[in-house]
Structure formats: structure tokens, C-alpha cells
A and B are shown apart, each in its own frame.
Chain A
Amino acid sequence: MTTPHGFSATRRLVLQGAGVVALIGLGNMASGPTPALAAANDKYPEDAFKQKSDADAIKSLYGKTPEPSDKVKMDAPEIAENGAVVPISVTTSLADVTSISILIAENPNALAASYKIPAGTMPSVANRLKMAKTTNVIAIVEAGGKLYSTTKEVKVTVGGCGG
């Protein structure tokens, strides 16, 4: 009588062990590449747009930090006479680009715009953004699951008499 009972107990232990291993495996997956993919492909990234600092916005949007790259090119004026309309364009020679984001460091909310680039669309975008004051503009390119950035300071002249 003890044999089947003992057997099933061992079996339960073994199954439990297997379950734990499986859970750990899933946990690793979830903290790995999944959040970044979700951020890039999912719906409107509401939280990222609410973050005050550029670092927090990047973290919320992508879940990782970018490395500076000279393959990310940003075209922005040295001096913007009107902070309400600053033409900024971002382009890159990197392959497998999935998104391009533009952040303005000292705006009330740093993240200004985030563009999804499906396969077949050129990794290049031009737009016009508002800048509260002279600050760094940060362009982020997500390519092959990694983040690359470039930064440029744009001077905003208030009142139009130099900066």
C-alpha cells in the first residue's frame, strides 16, 4: 500500500520541480526582449509621453538605454528663432530599423514623437516640433533590437534677439 502512495508523492515532487523550472524559464523570457518589442509594436505609449525626463521616457518606451552612434544622423538648426516650430529630421544608415523617436530634454515631457518603421519603410523621418527653451534634442533609432542615439543642442532664442 505504501508503494503507490510513495510513488505518487515523488511524482508530485518531480512535477512541481518541473513546474518551477518552467516558470523560471518564462520569467527570463518576459524580462528579456519581450517588453521592448511590445513597446515598439503596441498601441500608443501613453506612459512614455507622461515621463518628465528623457532618460525615464526612453526607459518607459523601450526598457533599455541607447548607445551613441554616428550612424544616426539628425538634422536640426543650430539656432531656432521660433521654439514653436523647430524643423527636425532623423535618418540612419543602420539596417533593420523598427522605430525612430525624438526627445527634447528640457521640455515639460521629454518625449515628443515616436515613429514606427515597418519593414519596407525608409528609416528616415522629418517633422516639426516645439521646444520650450535651449536644450538637447535626442534622436533614438531602434535597429535589430538595439537602441542607438545622437544628441544635438538647439538654441532657442526668446524674443528674437540672439541667445
Chain B
Amino acid sequence: MASTIRVRAISSGETTEVQALIQHPMDSGFVKDASGALIPPHFIRELTFEYDGKAVFVADWGPAVSKDPYVKFSFKGGKKGDDLKISWVDNKGESDTTTAKIQ
């Protein structure tokens, strides 16, 4: 299966700007489906970005984060061609990991 994570990490020399888009329903548990039954909560809880073996950004999310979440941040350092590791875990224990090259 293709990765649920799409990442673009661009180094400007001093800093690296990271944008990530993840495919995930992010169901809040408050929405009903067509038959009137509540859709159970299903959302990403933790999203971690690692560079050079260290976490550079950790997101703790609740169900109020929009469907197919997007996040943007930047960190000092990061060289073109280096790896950035991204992983998430949701409330059902599902997870995904990918590695992106810094551009």
C-alpha cells in the first residue's frame, strides 16, 4: 500500500521547512453516518518527525484536527539529501512510517 504520508522538506541552508499531509479519516466520534449511527472516533494521536536520530517535532492530536491532516513547521539544520523520518500512531493502534529526503 502506498504510504499515507506525503512530506515535502526543503532546506534553505540554515533551516528546513517541513510540510506534511497525511491521509486519515480523523473521525471525531460526534458525527453520525447516513443511517444515524455514530461513527466511532478514529484519529491520529501522535505524529513524530525525526532527523538525525532526534525528534525535531512531535504533534499530539485530538479528534478536532481536520480530516487528512496538514501540518507545517521548520527546524534549524537539515542538509539536502538527508533523511527525515515521519511516523504516526492513531487511537486504534494503527500506524505508518515513511522516510523523506530533504530537498
Contact = CB atoms under 8 A, between A and B. Distances in A.
Nearest to B30: A108
Contacts of A128: 65-66, 69-70
Given A84-B67, A113-B62, A126 B72 contact: yes
Interface size class of A (residues with CB under 8 A): 20 to 34
Interface stretch (B1-9, B32-40, B74-82, B93-101): B74-82
Contact of A124 (B55, B69, B73): B73
Interface residues of B, number: 29
A132 B29 CA distance: 13
Interface in B17-46: 26, 28, 30, 45-46
Nearest to B20: A127
A122 B15 CA distance: 9
B54 interface: yes
DSSP majority for the B interface?
Answer: strand
A73 to B, nearest CB: 15
Given A44-B45, A121-B56, A127 B70 contact: yes
Contacts of B69: 127-128
28 contacts: A44-B45, A44-B46, A44-B60, A49-B60, A85-B67, A109-B63, A111-B62, A111-B64, A112-B62, A112-B64, A112-B65, A113-B59, A113-B61, A115-B60, A116-B58, A116-B60, A120-B77, A121-B57, A124-B73, A125-B72, A125-B73, A126-B71, A127-B65, A127-B66, A127-B71, A129-B65, A129-B66, A130-B28
Interface of B: 15, 26, 28, 30, 45-46, 54-67, 69-77
Given A120-B77, A130-B66, 9 more contacts: A111-B64, A114-B59, A115-B57, A115-B73, A122-B76, A127-B59, A127-B69, A127-B70, A127-B71
